Each structure stands twice: as C-alpha cells, then as structure tokens.
Structure 1
Amino acid sequence: MQESRLSIGVADPEDSTDLRDFYRWLDNEEEPPGTVRLASEPVAGSMSGGLDVIDVVLTHAVGLANLTVAYATWRKARRSRAALTFTRASDGLTVTVREGSEEAVQQLLRAFSEPGRPEDG
C-alpha cells in the first residue's frame, strides 16, 4: 500500500471539542491507524487562526480498517452528535459521517479503499 493521507474535520465548527476528543482517542489507540496529529487549517479571511483538523497518514493496509473501527468505537463510547468529514488529500474525496453505525463504517471503508490520484511530490 502506498502512503495515504486523510484529514478529519468537523462539519460544524461548534463541534471542535468532539474533534479534539476523537484525536485524543486515536492518539491513545493501542494499534494506531498510522501517524496521527492535530493541525490547524487556515480559514479564508480570518485573522484569528483556523479550524482544527486531524491529519492521519496511513502507511499500511490495515490502517484504514483500524481508523474506521476506532471511529465507530469512539462514537459508541462518547455518543457524540458531531458530523465528521474525512477527506483524502490525493484527490479531495470527502465523506461526511454523522453516526458510528456499521453502515457508516462500511461507507468509509468502501469510499477510501479505492485508490485516489497519487499525491504530488
């Protein structure tokens, strides 16, 4: 598997606390999905910084599966209502997930299992 980069954000900036909570959850995973860091994306026209995003670099085939299982487990444990957006860096494919059901996890796996356009550089 070639390296794959995903950004995870929130659909509503009011839910950034949930995003940071999910980051801590991923960071404490026994078998993390890959390299995980919390970053800030600039917001156009804003002088006050940006929105938090989770930057995930998947380096092995089970990384995506580990990420989706961690997501589902976190949703069930926290009962979060935040809609999270998962975006693949190579081609901008974005999937918004509002729940941690098996169907939502399968949607993530199907969407990101297909190879994207190779990243530049």
Structure 2
Amino acid sequence: MRIQVSVETGDSGTVITDLYRWLRQDDELRRHAEVRLLPARQTGGFMNAVEIIELVVGQGVAVANFVVAYAVWRQGRAATAPVTITVGEVSVTVTDGSEEAIRRIVDLLQSESDR
C-alpha cells in the first residue's frame, strides 16, 4: 500500500521535513516500510506547492507503526499546518493528534487495506 502524506507549503514548509525526519528515525516503521520525501509539486496556484512523504508498506504492522509515529509526532508539536493523508483516491486531512484525528486516519487506512 502506498500512503502519501502532504502539507501545503508556505510557513508549513518545515512541517513536512520535520515529520519526514521523525518517521525516518522510527526504527520499527523503517523496518517495515519504505519512507521517502518526494519533490514538491504545483497544485494550481502560483505559490501553492505541496511537499509529499510517501510510505510504501506491505504489512499491517507498518500501518500501525505509521499511525503511532504520527500521533506521537503531533503531540510533541505546537499547532502546525493541516496534514493530508492519501491512499489511492481517498484522503483525510487532520490538524492535530486528537483521538478523533487518529481514528479518521485508522479508518482511512483500514478501508483501503480491505480492498
């Protein structure tokens, strides 16, 4: 399964780099998933570029590790830009590490892994 994590650039340009470094430092996640930072791409507007982290996971344990790593990363940060997680054609945007946000991520990943 390919999971893409994106943040619109602007003041949030460092957010995606910070999250990418966090995910790369997670030994359990790296053991079961390939984590890479893709080049920014334009999304329509002149200044509207999106940076993307792509995770390629093959097992449910990697999906669980990603969700845990994201939750811990969010809890350790002050308010940051919204993060969009995309699998296939389905996306969810979350703005924090609340239980509701984590549940939305899990629901997305479960529904896509059931396909």
State the TM-score, normalizing by the size of structure 2.
Answer: 0.83
Higher helix fraction: Structure 1 or Structure 2?
Answer: 2
Assess, with a 3 A threshold, how the Cα gap between structure 1 residues 43 and 113 changes in structure 2: closer, same or farther: same
Return the offset for 1:9: 0.4
Root-mean-square deviation (Å): 2.4
Quote the residue 1:17 is aligned against.
Answer: 14
Matches within 5 A, 1:55-94: 55-88=54-87, 90=88, 92-94=89-91
In structure 2, C-alpha distance between the alignment counterparts of 1:106 and 1:46, rounded to whole Å: 31
TM-score with structure 1 setting the length? 0.80
Identical-pair percentage: 32
Tell me by how many angstroms 1:61 deviates.
0.8
Bigger proportion of residues as strand: 2
Q: State whether residues 18 and 80 of structure 1, in contact with CA within 8 Å, keep that contact through their aligned partners in structure 2.
A: no
Correspondence list, 1:99-118, <5 A: 99-115=96-112
In structure 2, stretches of 5+ residues that fail to align are none
Where does structure 1 differ by over 4 angstroms across 4 or more consecutive aligned residues? 44-48
Aligned residues: 111
